[in-house]
């Protein structure tokens, strides 16, 4: 699978082919066992925290609520708010944890066997119904626990920054433009994302090669939501713009100034001088 992915990506994209040669072959780790409830509960604990702090919270949750094992959904719902707060969960994370437990018991969050039978988009649609679980979290589950080969997390900062570095762009690519460019990487977009993460490592080490060619990202039409957001920002800017003298001064300063000769000509009164021999 890895050799096929590398061959396909190298033929489809010259810049990515150069990055693949610089990084070397990918040695993917085998997918780990996926227990959806436990995986998502751990993701909730890790939100906005470093790994050490999050693991400490999970250890206290196992000791207090799970009695030495990872708690079941029933245990989470039966636990008091005080005990969950004592483990280190914020009120928002407690609400997310209990919503996860509810939706697991209601089979919105499927068990591991059912999960493996669903398509990527079906899994994303179901798991993102849980409070506090976004698309990126589910994409990481798809890539690293289910081993799905065609996932491109376009909202991931590392993927976007790696693309900017590898392709020699001045700015970070917009997620929708990156998604449009990544269409050529199908059906191995997970491998492409892995190499883009490695591009950042090469950039930090000073060994990232210059891009083989300049590219232009496809122009993607703004969605209706993006247009409304831009219009709203424009209205807010106009409301906050200074009025009165400051505005007139800014407009005056923005106008091109006339040269001294033209200024003197403009101030001169009377008829303009005529060339010799011209008719009056």
Signed CA dihedral, 8, 13, 16, 21: sign only: positive
- State yes or no: cis peptide before 187, omega within 30 of 0: yes
Is 187 within 8 Å of 4 (Cβ atoms)? no
Give 178-225 as a 3 state SS string.
Answer: HHHHHHHHCCCHHHHHHHHHHHHHHHHHCCCCCCCCCCCCCCCCCCHH
- Is 156 annotated as catalytic? yes
Tokens 């200024």 correspond to 263
In the set 13, 150, 155, 156, the catalytic residue is: 156
d(CA 44, CA 27): 29
Torsion of CA 76, 135, 147, 211, to 10 degrees: -150
Which among 4, 36, 44 has a CA at the least distance from the CA of 20? 4
Record the tokens describing residue 210, joined without a space: 């210059």
> What are the catalytic residues?
156
């Amino acid at each position: 699978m890895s050799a096929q992915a590398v061959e396909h990506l190298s033929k489809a994209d010259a810049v990515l082919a150069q990055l693949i040669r610089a990084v070397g072959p990918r040695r993917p780790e085998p997918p780990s066992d996926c227990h959806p409830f436990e995986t998502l509960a751990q993701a909730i604990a890790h939100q906005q925290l470093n790994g050490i702090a999050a693991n400490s919270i999970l250890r206290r949750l196992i000791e207090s609520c799970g009695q030495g094992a990872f708690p079941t959904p029933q245990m989470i719902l039966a636990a008091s708010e005080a005990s969950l707060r004592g483990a280190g969960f914020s009120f928002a994370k407690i609400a997310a944890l209990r919503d996860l437990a509810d939706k697991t018991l209601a089979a919105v969050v499927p068990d591991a066997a059912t999960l493996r039978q669903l398509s990527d988009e079906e899994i994303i649609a179901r798991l993102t119904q849980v409070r506090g679980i976004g698309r990126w979290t589910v994409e990481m589950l798809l890539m690293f626990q289910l081993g799905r080969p065609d996932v491109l997390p376009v909202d991931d900062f590392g993927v976007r920054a790696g693309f900017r570095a590898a392709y020699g762009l001045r700015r970070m690519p917009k997620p929708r433009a990156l998604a449009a460019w990544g269409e050529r990487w199908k059906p191995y977009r997970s491998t492409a994302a892995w190499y883009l993460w490695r591009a950042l490592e090469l950039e930090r080490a000073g060994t990232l090669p210059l891009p083989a060619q300049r590219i232009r990202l496809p122009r993607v039409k703004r969605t209706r939501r993006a247009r409304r957001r831009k219009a709203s920002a424009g209205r807010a800017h106009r409301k906050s713009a200074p009025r009165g003298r400051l505005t007139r001064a800014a407009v005056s300063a923005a106008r091109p100034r006339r040269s001294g000769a033209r200024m003197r000509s403009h101030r001169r009164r009377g008829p303009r001088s005529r060339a010799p021999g011209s008719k009056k």
